[in-house]
Amino acid sequence: MDLNVYKISHRLAQLLNWTLLTVLVCLSFGSLPTHADRIVHQEQSLYSNIIVRESNRRLCLQFTLRRESNQSCQDPSDPQRLVFHYARMIMTSFLFIEDPQDILIIGLGGGTLPATLERLLPEARITTVEIDPAVVRLAKDYFNFVESPKNEVVVQDARVFTKRASLRQLKYDLVILDAFNGEYIPEHLMTEEYLREVRSLLRPESLLVSNTFVTSALYDHESSTYAKVFESFINFKRAETGNRLILIPNAALPAMERPEIDQTAFLAKAEGLQERLAGLDVPVSRYVSQLVKLLPPDQRKPDWNVAARALTDQYSPANLLRHKK
């Protein structure tokens, strides 16, 4: 055999052996990189076709009525890290209300928000309302969500829960509306009447946060609805991802009675949040620089069509508007 050919063959054999050894070692220690995309679980609930999918090292809960839409995702190698931009944005709530003790969340998903808030606020009472019992079960089975006496889930339509809570005169320091996904919106949870019911659950110092969208014809109508009920709000947007949070500090008060936000104190709070939110992958400094530009909200010109019709129980074509530019 030619000497050069022999050397090349020998070298290839060495490389092959080393590659095989590396694969075996990685498999032994579970560190072999994978980009597997596989369905871990699938079922048809009363409300949606639900899929638990493993993809790109993430485990995601998907609702698929017409197309796949991630409702919640988790990084199994770092479960506490917030994967979704909107979940990170919601952590800016602590700039407006530092220590909420009574928290209401509408929509469970994989349980990311209640689990995170429980870690950050171990003394708080957290109530999450979820209409679909299958979602609750899957959050526990696949996303490590654990209920406790201070972190409970109520399986009920949020409109029914809110009405009954209002009649019982229950009050919350922080309310997060998170029942929407990229494909379907519960239309009865976006109307003027519902938002007034939500407002009745708030204390004067409470914060209301709504996770919603930027791009669609719904934007104008939804903005008009919130403006009609609360007069003004902070329109915290991330245009590159289409995320929007509607933030309303002191939401139970008329706009003219809401205390002004001290920007110096606001920035000081942001510094303190860096350590508190460590490990969640929340870019606090960047969010604060964006929020400061939005304060005070009542002095900013609306960027939506103020003539757009507000959504009501009689007029709520939210899903038609959601898929219309």
Let me know if residue 78 belongs to a domain.
no
Let me know if residue 244 belongs to a domain.
yes
For residue 167, the model assigns a pLDDT of 97
Tell me, yes or no, whether 180 and 270 share the same domain.
Answer: yes
Query: In terms of DSSP bridges, do strands 172-177 and 202-213 run parallel, antiparallel, or are they unpaired?
Result: parallel
Let me know if residue 101 belongs to a domain.
yes
Q: What is the pTM of this model?
A: 0.87
How many folded domains does the chain comprise?
A: 3
For residue 240, the model assigns a pLDDT of 79
For residue 288, the model assigns a pLDDT of 92
Tell me, yes or no, whether 122 and 67 share the same domain.
Answer: no
Let me know if residue 77 belongs to a domain.
no
23-37, 117-131, 231-245 — most confident range: 117-131
Which has the higher per-residue pLDDT, 105 or 241? 105
Taking the chain, what is the end-to-end CA distance rounded to the nearest angstrom? Answer: 70
For residue 99, the model assigns a pLDDT of 95
Tell me, yes or no, whether 2 and 109 share the same domain.
Answer: no
- Span of 29-38, 87-96, 312-321 with lowest mean pLDDT: 29-38
Tell me, yes or no, whether 158 and 250 share the same domain.
Answer: yes
Tell me, yes or no, whether 222 and 304 share the same domain.
Answer: yes
For residue 25, the model assigns a pLDDT of 40
Distance CA 137, CA 152 (A): 13
**End position of a domain, from candidates 71, 93, 120:** 71
Tell me, yes or no, whether 90 and 12 share the same domain.
Answer: no
Tell me, yes or no, whether 66 and 207 share the same domain.
Answer: no
Q: Is 178 a catalytic residue?
A: yes
Q: Tell me: the pLDDT tens digits for 33-60?
A: 445 689 999 999 998 899 999 988 899 9
For the chain, the average pLDDT equals 87
Let me know if residue 45 belongs to a domain.
yes
Let me know if residue 76 belongs to a domain.
no
Let me know if residue 252 belongs to a domain.
yes
Tell me, yes or no, whether 16 and 157 share the same domain.
Answer: no
For residue 66, the model assigns a pLDDT of 56
Contact criterion met (CB below 8 Å) for 121 and 99: yes
Percentage of the chain with pLDDT > 70?
Answer: 86
CATH number at residue 303: 3.40.50.150
Tell me, yes or no, whether 116 and 46 share the same domain.
Answer: no
Distance CA 276, CA 298 (A): 30
Domain span including residue 53: 37-71
Tell me, yes or no, whether 212 and 262 share the same domain.
Answer: yes
For residue 14, the model assigns a pLDDT of 52
Residue 290, CA atoms < 13 Å, CB-side half-sphere = 15
Catalytic residue among 75, 141, 178, 298: 178
Nearest to 175 by CA among 105, 237, 238, 227: 105
Does residue 9 register a pLDDT over 90? no
For residue 154, the model assigns a pLDDT of 98
Tell me, yes or no, whether 24 and 138 share the same domain.
Answer: no
Distance CA 99, CA 78 (A): 25
Tell me, yes or no, whether 110 and 27 share the same domain.
Answer: no
Let me know if residue 269 belongs to a domain.
yes
